[in-house]
């Protein structure tokens, strides 16, 4: 009986040995995959927006009501489209590109105009407020659009 068990186990042990011997590449692949899933490091501080442009956010309303979800907000500097954002739950966020990233766009102190995207009324309506391009902070600015 022991001889039968031994005869049955030998091929299994050999197969496992061969599989484990060839598993070095698998271990390397697992290590590389596990490494690639690791975080690249801490995120940049929330006020460090210089690489992306100037960030603006706040409430967005039209004729006294919260602006509808997915409404497009276009940020312009001197008539140039420099960023696009969207409204969610009555709030918007938009990053306004720097002049270095997109010619004719933001430089420190430039006036940023916000335009409601879309064709026809109310699309193309400018917000009653303007912002000042500043990439050293998140610029909180509530904007309103008046069509009446």
Domain boundaries, given as residue ranges, for the chain: 2-37, 54-145
Q: Nearest CA to 97 among 118, 116, 112, 117?
A: 112
Q: Is the dihedral of CA 27, 33, 34, 40 positive or negative?
A: positive
pLDDT tens for the 148 residues of the chain, in order: 454 444 455 554 445 444 555 544 444 444 443 333 443 444 444 433 445 799 999 999 999 999 999 999 999 999 999 999 999 999 999 999 999 999 999 999 999 999 999 877 788 999 999 999 999 999 999 999 999 8
Is residue 22 within 8 Å of 65, Cβ to Cβ? no
Dist CA 98 CA 104 (whole Å): 8
Dist CA 79 CA 131 (whole Å): 14
Q: What CATH architecture applies to the domain 54-145?
A: Sandwich (2.60)
Is residue 24 within 8 Å of 31, Cβ to Cβ? no
- The structure's pTM equals 0.65
Q: Length of the chain in residues, anyone? A: 148
Could you report how far apart the first and last alpha carbons of the chain are, in Å?
Answer: 96
Q: Which residues contact 46 (CB under 8 A, 6 or more apart)?
A: 138
What does the pLDDT read at residue 119? 77
């Amino acid at each position: 009986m022991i001889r039968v068990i031994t005869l049955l186990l030998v091929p299994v042990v050999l197969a496992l040995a061969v599989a484990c011997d060839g598993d070095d590449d698998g271990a390397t692949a697992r290590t590389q995959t596990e490494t690639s899933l690791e975080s690249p490091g801490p995120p940049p501080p929330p006020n460090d927006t210089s690489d992306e442009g100037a960030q603006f956010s706040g409430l967005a309303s039209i004729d006294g009501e919260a602006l509808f979800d997915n409404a497009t907000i276009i940020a312009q500097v001197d008539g140039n489209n420099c960023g696009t954002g969207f409204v969610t739950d009555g709030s918007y966020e938009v990053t306004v590109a720097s002049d270095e990233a997109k010619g004719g766009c933001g430089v420190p102190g430039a006036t940023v105009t916000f335009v409601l995207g879309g064709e026809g009324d109310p699309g193309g309506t400018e917000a009653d407020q303007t912002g000042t391009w500043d990439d050293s902070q998140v610029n909180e600015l509530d904007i309103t659009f008046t069509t009446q």
